[in-house]
Amino acid sequence: MDERGRLCVGIDPHPPLLRAWGLGDDVAGLREFSLRVVDALAGIVAVLKPQAAFFERHGSGGVAVLEETIAAAREAGVLTIVDAKRGDIGSTMQGYADAFVREGSPLAGDAVTLSPYLGFDSLTPAIDTALASGRGVFVLCLTSNPEGAAVQLARSDDDGATHGVTVAARIANAAGEANALELAAGGNPGADQHALGSVGLVVGATVGDAARRGGVDLAGVRGPLLMPGLGAQGGSAESVRAVVGTAWGQVLASSSREVLGAGPDADALRAAARAAIDALT
């Protein structure tokens, strides 16, 4: 992010995009699409985020393309977040951890997206495995879709809080505690106020003042904020700034369809990505 700016581009090979690129909605088209995106953007964006759903829908051949895409990105020197949004009871979570963040797994990028709705602590195997292998996780907190708030801004007072604590605030606090422990274990706690831990949050670029309304202290998380929703969902660099306030230094904004729609020409893809990076500068 320091070197290349605050943009992540999602690799979301929707069927209409494959068609618009003159490719078939099949494993061959998926492979061509994904490798072209890596080839065009690996040198200029901070992170690529393949969306597992669009690979899995092609069955085992699609999963093989996901593995190849992750390997191609690594080879080309760009970080990857595998957007798989996994979450399960702890013992099963270890299986997902082995798939997506264990050293040597062909499906492991540099980070994975996780769903905390079986309870934040159910994610412990994935967080521990990620930390042990120098990887990271992004935990859903305030998602970009309009339906998210009904769950994420729900409040409970089971710990005696007068007005209740939102689900999103609990997740952010738990992520912040994990990062504080990691940063302290790294020695010289507090020496670098800008250091970030490996447990990030997903906060939509479209959520407006939800962090304030939900009592979510984004700066206090001391982890990166993956912010999807640019472009196709109506988010912009300005809306990202409005969402995060003082946590701007943690932002990694993400766009899929808006950038991918500029393809298949590699120069046009790069121009679209550069425009998004500039807007976030």
Residues annotated as catalytic are: 85
Q: Using the minimum distance from each CB to ligand OMP, give the nearer residue, 29 or 231.
A: 231
202 touching ligand OMP, by CB under 6 A: yes
Q: Which two tokens stand for residue 28?
A: 């061959």
Q: Using the minimum distance from each CB to ligand OMP, give the nearer residue, 5 or 228.
A: 228
51 touching ligand OMP, by CB under 6 A: yes
Contact 141/201 with Cβ under 8 angstroms? yes
Angle in degrees, CA 40, 43, 48, rounded to 5: 75
Contact 40/78 with Cβ under 8 angstroms? no
> Least distance from C-beta 96 to ligand OMP, angstroms?
15
Q: b/e string for 228-245 if b means 16 or more Cβ within 10 A?
A: bbbbbbebbbebbeebbe
Spatial distance between the Cα atoms of 32 and 48, rounded to a whole number of angstroms: 16
54-63 long-range Cβ contacts below 8 angstroms, 24+ apart: 54/11, 54/12, 54/13, 54/14, 54/30, 55/13, 55/30, 58/26, 58/27, 58/30, 61/27, 62/27, 62/30, 63/107
Helix (H, G, I), strand (E, B) or coil at 44: coil
42 touching ligand OMP, by CB under 6 A: no
Count of C-beta atoms within a 10 Å radius of residue 206? 23
Q: Using the minimum distance from each CB to ligand OMP, give the nearer residue, 223 or 229.
A: 229
Span 204-233, contacts to ligand OMP by CB under 6 A: 204, 228-229, 231-233
> Least distance from C-beta 172 to ligand OMP, angstroms?
14
Which of 72-80, 152-160, 177-185, 252-260 is the region at the interface with ligand OMP (rule: CB under 6 A)? 252-260
Which of 70-78, 155-163, 182-190, 253-261 is the region at the interface with ligand OMP (rule: CB under 6 A)? 253-261
Determine the distance from the C-alpha atom of residue 12 to the mean position of all C-alpha atoms in its chain, rounded to a whole number: 13
Which of 58-66, 161-169, 176-184, 251-259 is the region at the interface with ligand OMP (rule: CB under 6 A)? 251-259
Q: Using the minimum distance from each CB to ligand OMP, give the nearer residue, 74 or 257.
A: 257
Q: Which of 257, 266, 268, 275 binds ligand OMP (CB under 6 A)?
A: 257
Span 55-84, contacts to ligand OMP by CB under 6 A: 83
All residues at 6 or more sequence positions from 184 whose CB lies less than 8 Å from its CB, including other chains: none
Span 119-178, contacts to ligand OMP by CB under 6 A: 143-144
Residues in contact with ligand OMP by CB under 6 A are 10, 12, 51, 83, 85, 113, 143-144, 202, 204, 228-229, 231-233, 254-257
